[in-house]
Amino acid sequence: MNTKFKKDGCPFGKNSGSICGYGFVVILAVFLLGTAAAAQNDVITVRFANPRYECSSGLYRVDAELQARDALRQVFGMNLRFFYDASVMEFVSFEGFASGYGLLGETTKIKANPESGPNLFGFSGPAEYVNGAIQLLNVSAQPLFIATGTWTRLFTLCFAVAEPAAVESGPFCPSLVWDLQADPAEGAFLPGSNGVVLTLVSGELGVSAAAEERAVQFNWAYAVHDGKPFGLPVAESCVRVEVDCGEDTP
């Protein structure tokens, strides 16, 4: 199955320069994270975890967590880039940041054409792309060192569920796809983006250390074949209305 690109070669439209060759939003976000020191990079793995559904509001939340290969590593800045199925839910906000961290600049959302979701990620509806950035804004805050054997929560993501009935009808297992290919050396899924970019506190004022990023995808698995779709949804981390909304199990 091949993606039906628009005339500018991009399923997200010509104004989506952040992911299809125009690059302005992505380049800006990278520079906002500061200058990265040249050195052997530390490996940092990112994942989404701990899904929960708030029945009264119809809001769905997951945590963004990190794991380091080596001890005593501290995040300086991170570009927050991921895809999800826009027919299932709508991104609302980043919230609940770890002490000292906060948003940097404006977070953008770009909804692609209807074919983008099925063709690129195996979604039912169009893919939507979120591009934002966070940074350590208060250097006097208690240092948050990334765990090596477990996971460290950095912030939380909030979504509005498009059809609450989808949660009530059975296990709700939406996919969230970090913008990073199975081989991290290949970078982002689409041209014009550097994908997930993360830098670490280096100890030198005004200079951050580069990191080598890895991603554990959420309710989505990379394809074992070349080409598109890049992968398909899988039901691994689900919420159930009878548990999360206090209803009796049939």
- Asked, for residue 84, whether it belongs to a domain, the answer is yes
- Asked, for residue 197, whether it belongs to a domain, the answer is yes
pLDDT for residue 77 = 96
CATH of the domain at 127: 2.60.40.680
Query: Tens digits of per-residue pLDDT, 15-28?
Result: 444 444 323 233 33
- Asked, for residue 153, whether it belongs to a domain, the answer is yes
Structural domains counted in the chain: 1
What region does 136 belong to: left with phi over 0, alpha with psi -120 to 50, or beta? beta
- Asked, for residue 6, whether it belongs to a domain, the answer is no
pLDDT for residue 200 = 95
What residues make up the domain containing 121? Answer: 24-223
Q: Please answer whether residues 116 and 3 qualify as being in contact, where contact means their C-beta atoms are separated by less than 8 angstroms.
A: yes
Q: pTM for this structure?
A: 0.84
Q: In this predicted structure, which of 7-16, 44-53, 64-73, 85-94 has the lowest mean pLDDT?
A: 7-16
Which has the higher per-residue pLDDT, 214 or 33? 214
Q: In this predicted structure, which of 33-42, 139-148, 175-184 has the lowest mean pLDDT?
A: 33-42
User: Above 90 in pLDDT, residue 244?
Assistant: no
Residues 167-177, mean pLDDT to the nearest whole number: 90
Cα 61 vs. chain centroid, distance in angstroms?
13
Which has the higher per-residue pLDDT, 56 or 61? 61
Rounded to whole angstroms, how far apart are CA atoms 99 and 138?
8
φ/ψ of 243, rounded to 5, equals -95, -50
**What are 23's two structure tokens?**
């690059």
- Asked, for residue 143, whether it belongs to a domain, the answer is yes
- Looking at the chain, the whole-number percentage of residues with pLDDT higher than 70 is 79
User: Above 60 in pLDDT, residue 36?
Assistant: no
Query: Tens digits of per-residue pLDDT, 84-118?
Result: 999 999 999 999 999 999 999 999 999 999 999 99
pLDDT for residue 240 = 83
Which of the four pLDDT bands, split at 50, 70 and 90, describes residue 129?
very high
Q: Please answer whether residues 6 and 13 qualify as being in contact, where contact means their C-beta atoms are separated by less than 8 angstroms.
A: yes
What region does 107 belong to: left with phi over 0, alpha with psi -120 to 50, or beta? beta
User: Above 60 in pLDDT, residue 250?
Assistant: no
- Asked, for residue 79, whether it belongs to a domain, the answer is yes
- Asked, for residue 171, whether it belongs to a domain, the answer is yes
Number of Cβ within 10 Å of residue 84's Cβ equals 27
- Asked, for residue 243, whether it belongs to a domain, the answer is no
Identity of the residue numbered 205: L
Q: Whose CA is closest to 88, among 160, 10, 177, 13?
A: 160
pLDDT for residue 143 = 93
pLDDT for residue 55 = 86
Pairing of strands 231-233, 220-222: antiparallel
Q: Please answer whether residues 189 and 80 qualify as being in contact, where contact means their C-beta atoms are separated by less than 8 angstroms.
A: no
